[in-house]
Amino acid sequence: MSDILTKKQDIELRRAVIQYLRYFVPEFAQDTAVNTISKLLLDADLNKFDNEIQRMIPKQYLEKKWTAVLRLHRKVEDLEREISHQSKRVEIGHQSQPHSDITTNSLDRINWVPSLEEPFKKLSMHNGHPVTAIDIHPFQPIMATASQDGTIVIWDLLNLTEPQQIIRNAHTRSINAIQFMNQEVVAGHNTKKNRLLLATGSSDLLIKIWDTEDPANLKVLRTLTGHENIISGLCFHPTESSKLVSCSKDKTTKVWDTRTGSIVQSFVGHSDWVRSVDINRTGEFTLTSSNDHSIRLSNLSTGTGIGIMIGHEQVVEKVKFLPMACNKYLDQFAMEKFQNEFNINDDNYNELEYKYCISGGRDSSICIWLLPLPLIRSDGTMHPSTNPQGKLLLKLTDHKSWVKDIAIHPNRRFIISVGDDRRINIWDLGLLLDTNLLPPFRSLSTQGFPTTICMAKPVIKDQESENSILLNDAMRCYLAVGYSDGTVTLWNKNIQRDYTTPYRNIKD
């Protein structure tokens, strides 16, 4: 008998081994083989073994035990990682008390992110097709999800029992991007006179503009044609709401007038598929990422290249401007790293309203870059920077596979990333004020492969967002993650736990 197992456990293991081995023996020799093994391990004949198996050992007992051990091992790893991250946060918090406000009770919403035990809802209306894009309405409780089969699902975040609308064949191929128009919310604003639109971009080479006045009955207002290959990214202009920017496998970035469907600007900035696009707050500059492993900073109105960021070793899936509020966490680190090589405090950064960006790629890394400034002539025209190479400030390598998507938390301090390693990592830029290390302070392990992520924007004017109390009150604590199995996980600060849809970090 084993020195580790009790007598009862030892007999149970022997029975399970016999049950497991019998399926590897050809049927014609099964009785003889199993009888021999039974006598060897249990000192019993086949009939007695069969009776015991049926009475005492569940089907596929050994396999279930093995998978249970693996699940428990992963959960232990998750908890150990969480303890490690929390210990680092506590240590840093003791070293620098003014910056350790992540869990301040008075700002309980502004710093909200899901925890290992956070309740959630799991939504499933895409029939197993990978969820490819998600966006949340800028001020109404509406979420739009899209999938690889061309389906759009509209959800009421206050009542998730059934979707408000399911549009099958919204596109004939995969929908790769979906975005609501950005619109400032003003008291007494009449949304009927100023319709808020939804845009979708697809592998069918089309961009569709939808009227969202009635979320239960979306209607196509206009179809934009002009791309010659898959459309992979969309972004509404932040100050000119009728303009939409798109990027494509045809290597172009295009600016559209959604009122007429015409192309306002088109330029080629990459030698390969352009994967994602983002616009800075003023609408003057755009960032694009590509299969050519580079990120390009361009003047949006002219298409002129301002700078390029090279450092990823594979396809760059996503790039985003970091809000100017992030500068207070990054400037000190940048000055220490680059010494006097650059003027980190150049006033032109504040005038142009961009400075840093963040990117994620198939090399499993997340990179934070210091962006170059354009050369501005006396006539006001912008030209490529005299030093167009962006500088790599930080390279985060905690993901173990492709980084699929990145979201910037409304508090402009946290970064949330999802990867093919089945992890959701949450990063706190505030840690850079006290240490040169930036591990994720929280890491959630998922059952499926996450593909896209979206966090609800706060309902607040830009000029008020610097006030932490106003921002805290304006926060809508919704975080949605889409998966390759066609499901969407939705976290909300006030949501009730859904015990029917287990998430590995909550319940196995």
10-residue mean pLDDT profile of the chain (508 residues): values are 70 75 71 70 58 62 74 74 61 41 59 84 95 96 97 96 96 98 52 72 98 92 97 96 96 96 97 98 97 98 96 98 96 89 90 97 98 89 89 96 97 96 95 84 92 95 81 93 97 57 30
* Structure tokens given for 273: 């598929």
- Nearest 10 degrees: CA dihedral of 167, 172, 176, 177? -50
> In terms of C-beta distances under 8 Å and separation of at least 24 residues, what long-range contacts does 78-85 make, across chains too?
78/116, 78/443, 78/444, 78/445, 78/504, 78/505, 79/116, 81/443, 82/116, 82/442, 82/443, 85/439, 85/440, 85/441, 85/442, 85/443
pLDDT of residue 71: 73
Please, are residues 479 and 115 in contact by the beta-carbon 8 Å criterion? no
- Nearest 10 degrees: CA dihedral of 25, 28, 29, 35? 100
* Structure tokens given for 158: 């206050």
Residue where the block lists tokens 């008291």: 187
What is the reported pTM?
Answer: 0.77
H-run or E-run covering 73: helix 61-95
Phi, psi of 23 (to 5 degrees): -80, -5
Please, are residues 449 and 401 in contact by the beta-carbon 8 Å criterion? no
Residue 22, SS3 per DSSP: helix
In terms of DSSP H, where are the helices of 272-416?
327-338, 347-352
DSSP code of residue 482: E
Q: C-alpha distances in angstroms, 215 versus 143, 154, 202, 218?
A: 10, 7, 21, 6
- Maximal C-alpha separation, the chain: 97
Residue where the block lists tokens 């966090």: 455
DSSP string, 238-263: SS-TTEEEEEETTSEEEEEETTTTEE
pLDDT of residue 86: 62
The whole-angstrom separation of Cα 485 and Cα 129 is: 6
pLDDT of residue 99: 38
pLDDT of residue 369: 98
Cβ partners under 8 Å of residue 16, min gap 6: 57, 61, 62, 65
Please, are residues 379 and 397 in contact by the beta-carbon 8 Å criterion? no
Q: C-alpha distances in angstroms, 400 versus 62, 345, 366, 396, 418?
A: 30, 35, 11, 11, 11
The whole-angstrom separation of Cα 174 and Cα 152 is: 10
Please, are residues 270 and 258 in contact by the beta-carbon 8 Å criterion? no
Q: C-alpha distances in angstroms, 392 versus 306, 310, 321, 369?
A: 16, 8, 14, 5
Residue where the block lists tokens 């969480």: 82
H-run or E-run covering 9: helix 7-21
The whole-angstrom separation of Cα 420 and Cα 288 is: 22
Q: Which of 178, 78, 105 is nearest to 137 (CA)?
A: 178
pLDDT of residue 503: 30
